[in-house]
Structure 1
Amino acid sequence: MANHRLITLGWIFTEKFGLIFLSMITFVVYARLLSPAELGVGTVIIAIVELIGLVYSSVLEDPLVRLERLEDKHITTAFWAAVLVSLVSIVVISGAVMLYTPDPVLQWMTAVASVKILFTMMARVYVAQMRRNGNFKMLASRTLLGKVFGGVAGIAVALWGLGAWAVIAQAVIMELVSIIVLMLGDRRRIAFHIDGPVLRELLKSGAPVAINALSSQTLQRGVNVVLGMTAGVNAVGMFNMAMRIIELPRTAIYNGLLSYALPAFARRSAEPSRLLGIIGDSTAVSGFLLTPLFIGIALTANDLIPLIFGAKWTDAIPLLQVLACTAAIGNTAMYATTALVAVNRSHLTIKAEVATTVLALALVYTLGNLYGGMAAALALLARMLIITPLQIRGLIAAIGYGWQRFFDSNYRSVIASVVMAATVLSVSPQLGLHGYLHLFCNIVVGALSYAVAYSVMHPRWPQEFKSVFTAR
């Protein structure tokens, strides 16, 4: 059992870290070949399309994963409902953009990008079943292949000088290849049938999940859209540069952990003590890895951006530092939403999610014209500071996850990260180095100081963390 768990996690992280590597390659190329404005245009279009697709996906995928028995009627209903709503969305989006702008290039970009919704939605039933069965090898293969083909296409388009089309091409081709791989791996014939009661059951179960996802992703994607309206596409480009540096590791690692966590939490939903234990242990392990990672990004931002992406992106440095600190705070409650889905109590945080998202977007709209991308970064930080304690309150109400357990799971990684930051800030000016050597030395100093500080507080952490994947 333990070996199977480790193999499953191995495939999850093969996929996610492979995505980081491939995404970094394409991102560096885009940073070199595209202007901030071109990157901003592509980002806004894809943000709109992905937001719509993500809402639909949340309604269907997580409820399918949670079902005690996944039958053919669930699969056929979810698949064909997804296809039909995707086709309608493509038509609506294409028509809306024709009314919004007379620019034929923007019209074509948006219409082509909207096809991504169809491919994303077709994949939901395959992904849900593979998550249930633990077939993360196939999930990893389809994502990595999609990323390779999409990345190659995007880089080729960028080299041809087509600007924002590179971002569109990468996103659409990645999803197309992904669904082709899934269909080749599972050659079932999905009969055309939509069962009304089953669809209503899925919608009822998935609506709270979708609202939470809409809130979260409206924040991530909607910030780009609102920022573009108030500060222009150049500000969107700068903000997206900083955000992508955070989101590449964050999304890859979070998605990997949460893909595994939902079925694991759901299996323990009837045993509160075991569920509380695995949430606390998972938070401790994740915080041990992720909190210093994001604090480290903030500490090295002054070297990281000019060296890797070029001097034209230096305005993104303070944005990156704020966003990195925001991500570090988010680590402390990263499993809250997933745990609530697992026990079917996600409605407990809906109001908080929606209210804080509206507040953040209002801040961007109000301050974007004055502060540009920094308005968006500070809005996300303010939202994280408000939503994190509210998520913990939801866990307390749902399963009795107390503040003491929250503190016990997080205090070591937070204190060790503070020690790391203080050490790097004091040692770095004394190094007398520049360029990549300065960056490398800062990373080494930070890693060593963090490891020492954490080990002093918790000498047996290797054995305890190993037990998370073998004993429970």
Structure 2
Amino acid sequence: MANHRLVKLIWIFTEKFGLIFLSMITFVAYARLMSPAELGVGTVIIVIVEMFAILYSSMLEDPLVRLERLEEKHICTAFWFAVLISLASIVVISFAAMLYTKSSVLQWMTAVASVKILFTMMARVYVVEMRRTGNFKMLASRTLLGKVAGGVGGIAIAFWGFGAWAVIAQALIMEFVSIVVLMLGNRRRIAFYIDGPFLRELLTAGAPLAINVMSSQTLQRGVNVVLGITAGAHAVGMFNMAMRIIDLPRSAIYNGLLSYALPVFARRGSDTARLIEVISDSTAISGFLLTPLFVGIALTAEDIILLIFGAKWADAIPLLQVLACTAAIGNTAMYAMTALVAVNRTHLIVKAELATTLLALALVYSLGHLYAGMAAAVALLARMVIMTPLQVRGLNTAIGYGWRVFIESNYRSMIASLIMAAAVVLVSPYLDFRGYWHLAANIGIGTLTYALAYSALHPRWPQEFKSVFTAR
């Protein structure tokens, strides 16, 4: 059982860390070949399209994963509903683009990009089946192959000077290759059939989750849209640069951990004491790895931006520092939503999600013309500071996961990360290194300091973390 669990995790993180590597190559190429404005235009268009896909996906995928039995009629219903709503969305988005802008180029970009919704939604039932059966090898293969194909296509188009089209082409190619791989790996005929009562039941179960996910995604992606309206494409490009550096590791690692965690939490949903223990262990291990990662990104932001992406992106440095701190705070309650999904209590934080999202977007709208990308970065930080205690309160109401458990799960990684930050800030000015050697020296000092500080706070951490994957 333990070996089977480790194999699943290995395939999950083969996919996710492979994505980090491939995404970084692509993003560095875009930073070199495109201007901030071109990157901003492509980003805004893809963000608008992906918001539709995320809404539909969140309404269908996790409720299907949570079903006790997944029957053929369930698969047919979900698949064809996904196809029909995707086609309708393509028409609506294309028509809206014609009304919003007179630029034929932007109209065509938006219409072509909207096809991504169809590819994304067609894949959902295949992904559900593989998550339910633990076939993370196939999930990893389709994502990595799609990312390679999309990255090559996007870089080629950027190299030929087509600007924002590169971002759109990458997204489309990646989703198309992914669905082709899934269909070839699971050859089946999905009959045209929609079970009305089951569809209503599925959408009812998925609606609270979709609201929560859309609240979070509207914040992350909607910020780009609002920022574009108030501060222009250049500000979006700078903010997106900083956000992508954070999102590359965060999305890859979070998605891998949460994809694995949902079925694990769901199996323990009826035993709240055991579920609290699993959440606490998972939070402690994730914080051990992720909190120093994001604090470290904040400490080395200047070197990362100037050395890897170039001086034209220097305005993104303070944005990256604020967003990295936001991600570090977010690690402390990263499993909250997944745990609430597992026990079907997501409604407990729906209002909080919506209210804090609207507050953050309002901050961006009101301050974007004055502070450009920094308005968006600070808005995300403010929302995280407000939302984290509300998530803990929701968990406490649902399963009794209170502040004592929350603090016990996080205090070691937070204290050790602060000690690491102090060491790097104090020592870095005296280092006689430049360029990549300076970056490497800071990473080395930070890693050593963190390891020593964490070990002093928790001497038995290797044995305890190992037991999570073996004995439990």
TM-score by length of 2: 1.00
Aligned residues: 472
- 1:278 and 2:278 equivalent? yes
Query: What is the 5 A alignment of 1:291-440?
Result: 291-440=291-440
* Amino acid across the alignment from 1:197: P
* Cα drift, residue 441 of structure 1: 0.1
Partner of 2:457: 457
TM-score by length of 1: 1.00
3-state DSSP of counterpart to 1:69: coil
Q: Counterparts of 2:355 and 2:431 in 1: how far apart (Å)?
A: 46
Partner Cα distance (1:173, 1:431) in 2: 45
Counterpart Cα distance in 2 of 1:151 and 1:125:
25
Unaligned runs of 5+ residues in structure 2 are none
Q: Distance in 2 between matches of 1:270 and 1:426?
A: 49
Q: After the TM superposition, which residues 58-457 of structure 1 pair with which residues of structure 2 at under 5 Å, given as runs?
A: 58-457=58-457
Deviation at 1:468, TM superposition (A): 1.1
Q: Shift of residue 471 of structure 1? A: 1.8
- The one-character-per-residue Cα deviations of 1:404-448 (angstroms, maximum 9, x if unpaired) are 000000000000000000000000001121110000000000000
Q: What displacement does 1:470 show?
A: 1.4
CA deviation profile, 1:193-218 (whole Å, cap 9, x unmatched): 00000100100100001000110000
Once the two structures are TM-superposed, the CA of residue 316 in structure 1 deviates from its matched residue by: 0.1
- CA distance in 2 between counterparts of 1:111 and 1:70 reads 34
After superposition, what is the alpha-carbon deviation per residue over 1:166-223, rounded to whole angstroms, capped at 9, x for unaligned?
A: 0000001100000000000111110000000010010010000100011000001100
Counterpart-to-counterpart distance in 2, 1:124 and 1:210: 15
Q: Deviations along 1:229-272, whole A, 9 cap, x unmatched? A: 00000000000000000000000000000000000000111111
Does the residue aligned with 1:433 lie in a helix, a strand or coil? Answer: coil
**CA offsets per residue over residues 33-77 of structure 1, 9 Å max, x none?**
000000000000000001110000000000000001111111000
| TM-superposition CA deviations, 1:85-106 (whole Å, max 9, x none) | 0000000000000010010110
Question: Secondary structure of 1:163's match?
Answer: coil
Please tell me the residue identity of whatever aligns with 1:263: P
Distance in 2 between the 1:363 and 1:169 partners?
32
Letter in 1 for 2:271: E
- RMSD of the alignment, in Å? 0.4
Report Cα offsets for 1:356-388 as digits up to 9, x if no partner: 000000000000000000000000000000000
* 2:470 corresponds to: 470
Deviation at 1:273, TM superposition (A): 1.4
Distance in 2 separating the partners of 1:129 and 1:399: 28
Partner Cα distance (1:277, 1:41) in 2? 45
Which whole-Å CA distance do the structure 2 matches of 1:41 and 1:468 have between them? 45
| CA–CA distance in structure 2, aligned partners of residues 209 and 262 of structure 1 | 13
**Distance (whole Å) between structure 1 residues aligned to residue 341 and residue 366 of structure 2:** 33
CA distance in 2, matches of 1:212, 1:468: 29
3-state SS, counterpart of residue 189 of structure 1: coil
CA distance in 2, matches of 1:469, 1:170: 36
Distance 1:129 1:351 in 2: 31
Distance across 2 between alignment mates of 1:174 and 1:41: 19
User: In structure 2, what residue type is equivalent to 1:424?
Assistant: V
Amino acid at match of 2:370: L
**Residue 37 in structure 1 maps to residue 37 in structure 2:** yes
Could you tell me how far apart the structure 1 residues matched to 2:201 and 2:282 are?
A: 31
Identify which range, 113-122 or 462-471, moves more after superposition.
462-471
What letter matches 2:56 in structure 1?
Answer: Y
Deviation for aligned residue 1:320: 0.1
